[in-house]
Structure 1
Amino acid sequence: MTSLHHFSGAAPRGPVRRAVVATAVVLCGVAGLAGCGKTITIGDAGAPAAPAASAPAATSPAAPPAASQPAGNTALQVVDRTAAQAGLTGNGGTVVGAAVQESPPRWVQLSAVTSPPLTAPHLININQAALYRFDPDSADPTQSHCNDACAVQWPAVTIQQGGNVYLAGVDRDQVGAIRRQDGQVQLTVGGMPVYRFAGDTKPGDLNGQGVGGTWFAVGPKGGKAGQ
């Protein structure tokens, strides 16, 4: 098993509809708890979520939301501390390797670590699974090009609407989210969608590094680790 060296107290542990992430509130010391964070809301169709007050008057029936788009927008909390520091145990519901993520995790932790052969920080989740970025994706606008069969081999890092994202060695301002083609919420770092690799089965695996010349371990700012 490859040893991991954690930063900032990290616990070992076709087409797509685009979404826009808007920072709503920055939270510090809420309810006397240590750490700061931010609240992000998930828009759809490449436009920010409209405030409720600007919704059309109910003079005619509103068009129903798309089947894969739940009505309204639900905030995610990005928390500037680890899950353990927040008193949580377990993994929030994330799975390992080729296991199918049948429902999005309740919470996700993103940690920056170093792990040979990489000498630069790269991201892992609470299960110590390496996280990756895909070169054909884009950060401006944020867009995922890995769907269907691709997403089976490279599962998106998803989270429940209303869930918490915990951080270790990652700037909260780098973290966002998009709504995928299948309606699930995928986390982004530096605007780039992030993924696991089904071929990584144990902590420290980096079997996805360099696959196809397009998949690379993702750094804490969304770039390729070390670049």
Structure 2
Amino acid sequence: MTALSGCGKTIQIGDTSQPASSSPASSTPTAATTDGAASTPAATAGNAALQVVDSTAAQAGLHGNGGTVVGVAVQEAPPRWVQLSAVTSDQLPAQHLININQAALYRFDDDSATSSKSACTGACIGKWPPVTVEEGGKVYMAGVDPKEVGAIRRDDGQIQITVGGRPIYRYSGDSKPGDLNGQGVDGKWFAVGPKGEKVTGKG
């Protein structure tokens, strides 16, 4: 059962064989990070804490992108924080998620909402980079319910964010804000909605 506080929740991420569990954000001590935000400290190896915050990064006094790369750049290291925002666009009038750089986010039909594994591994992640966050990082939101946000630990040890239980990704073929070049690729990749749903058409 997911326990929430007014500020969001804290997720404990175990190893790849264990699903994430959560507890109220207020129950976990915080420490200052280099960008001035408070974050939950990373726990012992294999059991890190990730905080989901029910506000935007700007409302928390943060600037920049937290380390989320822009466009086709490779995410060399996980961001310190991530923001998920629900938006509509001329291309896709139904609500779908973007990151702090306004890059569209996607879900993969081969993933399951009930598994703690991602089906996108190996060469797949070069084309579809997982949306990751560092150990002890934070996820900020605009138009997304905190209870829909979770995380899994990938086989390489990185923490990947989930929405509605489904891992989320960027597309390497999107080079500028508003691009949706990954929509419908291979009949399995689609924009992800604020509850983890597949977004295929009009609102």
With the length of structure 1 as denominator, give the TM-score of the two structures: 0.74
C-alpha separation in 2, matches of 1:49 and 1:39: 10
Does the CA contact (< 8 Å) of 2:14 and 2:47 recur in 1? yes
Query: 2:144 aligned to 153, 166, 170, which one?
Result: 170
After TM superposition, give the deviation of residue 119 of structure 1 in Å. Answer: 1.4
**1:103 has 2:71 as partner:** no
**1:46 has 2:17 as partner:** yes
Q: Which residue of structure 1 lines up, in the alignment, with residue 24 of structure 2?
A: none
For residues 9-158 of structure 1, the aligned pairs below 5 Å read: 23=2, 26-28=4-6, 36-47=7-18, 71-158=45-132
Unpaired segments of 5 or more residues in structure 1?
1-21, 29-35, 51-69
After TM superposition, give the deviation of residue 72 of structure 1 in Å. Answer: 3.9
Task: Mark the CA change 1:80 to 1:139 in structure 2 (over 3 Å): closer, same or farther.
Answer: same
Opposite residue 113 of structure 1, the aligned amino acid is V
Opposite residue 26 of structure 1, the aligned amino acid is L
Unpaired segments of 5 or more residues in structure 2?
22-43
After TM superposition, give the deviation of residue 45 of structure 1 in Å. Answer: 4.3
Secondary structure of the corresponding residue to residue 124 of structure 2:
helix
C-alpha separation in 1, matches of 2:125 and 2:116: 17
Query: 1:225 aligned to 195, 199, 203, which one?
Result: 199
Aligned pair count?
A: 179
Runs of at least 4 residues off by over 6 Å: none
Give per-residue Cα distances to partners, 1:177-211, cap 9 Å, x unaligned.
00111110000000000000001011000000000
**1:193 has 2:171 as partner:** no
Q: Which residue of structure 2 lines up, in the alignment, with residue 205 of structure 1?
A: 179
C-alpha separation in 1, matches of 2:122 and 2:105: 19
C-alpha separation in 1, matches of 2:98 and 2:120: 19
Task: Mark the CA change 1:149 to 1:47 in structure 2 (over 3 Å): closer, same or farther.
Answer: closer
Give per-residue Cα distances to partners, 1:131-181, cap 9 Å, x unaligned.
000000111124211111110010000000100100000000000000111
What fraction of aligned residue pairs are identical, expressed as a percent?
70
Opposite residue 146 of structure 1, the aligned amino acid is C
After TM superposition, give the deviation of residue 26 of structure 1 in Å. Answer: 3.1
With the length of structure 2 as denominator, give the TM-score of the two structures: 0.83
Does the CA contact (< 8 Å) of 2:133 and 2:160 recur in 1? yes
Give per-residue Cα distances to partners, 1:42-72, cap 9 Å, x unaligned.
022433689xxxxxxxxxxxxxxxxxxx724
